[in-house]
């Protein structure tokens, strides 16, 4: 009986912490898009976008498609405007989450569980960052980055134990630059621009709200909204989920998992 009060106290704290991660980020009309930009989309080489591309500006500001391939193009039309608007809404929602952990600027070498991670200034990934879903497909990871996001050559973000790329959000307050041969999981929503070096593979969308997206022979795969994949509702009010959201440890690298954007019989090459 002497353990009753501590256990009740832990449960109360856990439920309180779980409420911090209650809001699930929704991309809305941005879901089908691998790339959304405001001013320009520029490509060099054999880039493949598994999803549509959208530009708020007119189509003359899209260059390099072809030879780049996509599932379709929206430029200077209502669809592009709505996609950008919903990406902005997702950005604001991610930025508004209460952090469950403060993180240093270097994310490489870390083994992180679900949660919202706040980086006060610029963030970088050198080597491998592992995100552990804790065997819950609804596990959400949000990185609130106060300035820029930069990855080194051959950096990677690896998903294990049920973590899904569609539930990883990089909210970047400035611009993002991904180094050569980077393999990154998650949706990058940058307030300014996004630049990819050669050979980058992104399992998620690239959304540059006020600037441009630049590519050099890369692969970008848009993510379905996780809530549309027939998954059970998020188990937010479990003590396990709540306690895990505040943990940050180092660990070994394991095999990654990802969800590819489904093929659409009506998809076409961007022209």
Give, for all 271 residues of the chain, the pLDDT tens digit.
Answer: 343 333 333 333 333 344 444 488 999 999 999 999 999 999 999 999 999 999 999 999 999 999 999 999 999 999 999 999 999 999 999 999 999 988 889 999 999 999 999 999 999 999 999 999 999 999 999 999 999 999 999 999 999 999 999 999 999 999 999 999 999 999 999 999 999 999 999 999 999 999 999 999 999 999 976 754 444 433 322 223 222 333 333 333 332 333 333 344 444 434 4
Establish if 23 belongs to a structural domain: yes
Q: By C-alpha distance, which of 262, 156, 268 is closest to 202? A: 156
Q: Would you state the pLDDT for residue 225?
A: 64
Specify if 50 maps to a domain.
Answer: yes
Q: Give me the pLDDT at residue 271, please.
A: 41
Q: Provide the pLDDT for residue 23.
A: 80
Q: What backbone phi and psi angles, to 5 degrees, belong to 110?
A: -95, 155
Query: Which residue in this structure is represented by tokens 């899209």?
Result: 62
What is the Cα–Cα distance from 135 to 224, expressed in whole angstroms?
Answer: 19
- Measuring CA to CA, how many Å separate 15 from each of 21, 135, 136, 175, 270? 10, 19, 17, 35, 48
* Inside any domain, residue 261: no
Tell me 69's DSSP state: B
For residue 109, being part of any structural domain is answered with: yes
Does 206 fall in a domain? yes
State the pLDDT at residue 237.
Answer: 26
The answer to whether residue 15 is domain-embedded is yes
Residues 6+ apart with CB under 8 A from 232: 138
pTM: 0.78
Residue 264 located in a structural domain: no
Query: Domain tally for the chain?
Result: 1
Domain with 95 in it: 4-249
Residue 235 in domain:
yes
The residues that bridge with 63 in the sheet, in sequence order, are 42
pLDDT of 227 reads 55
């Amino acid at each position: 009986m002497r353990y009753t009060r501590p256990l009740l106290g832990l449960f109360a704290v856990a439920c309180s912490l779980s409420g911090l991660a209650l809001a699930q980020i929704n991309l809305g009309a941005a879901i089908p898009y691998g790339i959304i930009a405001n001013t320009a989309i520029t490509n060099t080489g054999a880039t493949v976008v598994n999803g549509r591309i959208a530009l708020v500006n007119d189509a003359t500001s899209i260059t390099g498609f072809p030879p780049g391939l996509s599932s379709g193009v929206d430029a200077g039309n209502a669809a592009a405007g709505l996609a950008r608007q919903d990406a902005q809404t997702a950005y604001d929602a991610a930025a508004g989450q209460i952090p469950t952990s403060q993180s240093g600027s270097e994310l490489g070498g870390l083994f992180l569980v679900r949660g919202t991670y706040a980086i006060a200034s610029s963030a970088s990934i050198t080597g491998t960052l592992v995100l552990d879903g804790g065997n819950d497909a609804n596990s959400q990871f949000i990185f609130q980055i106060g300035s820029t996001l930069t990855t080194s050559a051959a950096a990677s973000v690896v998903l294990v134990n049920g973590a899904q790329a569609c539930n990883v959000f990089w909210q970047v307050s400035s611009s993002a630059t991904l180094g050569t041969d980077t393999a990154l999981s998650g949706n990058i929503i940058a307030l300014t621009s996004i630049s990819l070096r050669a050979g980058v593979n992104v399992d998620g969308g690239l959304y540059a709200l006020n600037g441009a997206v630049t590519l050099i022979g890369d692969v970008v795969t848009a993510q379905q909204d996780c809530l549309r994949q027939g998954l059970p509702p998020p188990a937010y009010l479990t003590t396990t989920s709540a306690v895990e959201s505040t943990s940050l440890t180092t660990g070994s690298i394991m095999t990654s998992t990802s969800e590819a954007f489904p093929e659409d019989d009506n998809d076409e090459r961007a022209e």
